[in-house]
Amino acid sequence: MKDFKALFSAYQFAESTEDVTATVKKIIEAGYDRHNNIEHYKKLFNSLEITSLSPYDNEDSIRRLVEKINDLDDKFPELPSPAGICVYPFWVDTVKNLLTEDIAISTVVGFPSSQSYIEVKIAETALAVSSGATEIDMVLPVGRFLAQDYEEIHSEISEIKAAAGEAKLKVILESGLHPTPQSLYNASILALEAGADFIKTTTGKEKPTDLNAVYVMARALKDFNDKTKEEHGIKLAGGIKTTQDATMYSTIIAAINGDDHINSTNLRIGATGLANSLITSILKEDTVYF
C-alpha cells in the first residue's frame, strides 16, 4: 500500500484561498500585457482541442466538425493547426476515418462524473484506443477523493493508463468541486503520481474553471516535474470562451512553468467556442467558423 501521507508531505504547498487570489492578481498584472499579442494567440490556437461533447452529437454533426478541421489550412492559411479533436468514444472511429490532419484524437471515459465500474472504464478506454483514440481524458472520482480513498483512485488511474497503452492520459480533476486549494493541489499530485500525462481542470459539466484553480494546478505541475525530472502537461476546459480569458490563463501557466510551456505538447485547451475568438483576434476581423 502506498503511503499517501508521505507522498503529499513531499510536496510543499500551504497557500490559502486568499494567498492564491493575491498571487494570481499580481501575476496577471505583471504578465498579461506581454502575452496579449497575435503570436501568443497563435500558440493558444495551436494548443486547442476542438471539442464536441454534446447530447446532440450525431454522425452529421461530427462529420461537419471534422470537415471544418480538415479545411482549416485552406480557409485560414495564417493559422497553425489545432492540437486535436475531442469527441465521445462512440465517434472516435468516425473521426479517424474522416480526419486528414495529423492531430490528436481525444475521447473521454467515465464521463462526466466517474460514477461507474472500473471494469467499464477500462473497457471503454481499450475500445476507444482500438478505434483510433490517441489520447484519453478520464474523470477523477471526486467524491471518493474527498473521502480519502486515495489507494483506490491511484489504482484506477494506473489501470486506465495501462489500458491506454501508447495513448496519452489526461485526468480531469473537477477543480471547482475541491473545497480548498490544498485539496486540488493534492489531487493534482495524486493524478500525476499515478501516471497522468496531463492534469485537466474540469469536464465543463460542473463548476467552470477559474484562475485560482489553474494557478494551484500549475504549481503542482511544476513541483512534480521538478522533483521527477519528467515532463507533464495541463489542459484547461470549462468556460474559457474569449481570447482575453485564454491569455489570462496562459499568463499564469507561463509565470509558473515558463513561457516554453505554452505549446501543444505541454498545454491543451478544450474550448471550441474559444477557436472563433482566437481566429477573430488573429485575423482582426469577426469570424464565426466553428
Q: pLDDT by residue (tens digit) across 5-28?
A: 999 999 989 999 999 999 999 999
pLDDT of res. 12: 87
Residue 80 in contact with residue 50, Cβ under 8 Å?
no
pLDDT of res. 156: 98
Distance of CA 209 to CAs 21, 103, 215, Å? 14, 25, 11
- Look up the pTM and report it: 0.97
Domains of the chain with CATH codes: 21-283 (3.20.20.70)
| Phi, psi for 3 (deg, rounded to 5) | -90, 95
pLDDT over 70 for what percent of the chain?
Answer: 100
pLDDT of res. 288: 96
pLDDT of res. 132: 98
pLDDT digits (tens, 9 = 90+) for 180-222: 999 999 999 999 999 999 999 999 999 999 999 999 999 999 9
Helix axes 17-35, 243-257, angle to 10 degrees: 110
Supply 112's cell numbers: 462526466
pLDDT band at 92 (very low <50, low <70, confident <90, very high): very high
Distance of CA 125 to CAs 106, 153, 170, 201, 204, Å? 11, 16, 12, 20, 20
Residue 118 three-state SS: helix
Give catalytic residues, as residue numbers: 137, 200, 235
pLDDT of res. 1: 78
Q: Which residues pair with 48 in a beta bridge?
A: 269
Element (H, E) at 198: strand 198-200
Q: What is the mean pLDDT of residues 246-263?
A: 98
Q: What is the mean pLDDT of residues 32-47?
A: 98
pLDDT at 148 over 90: yes
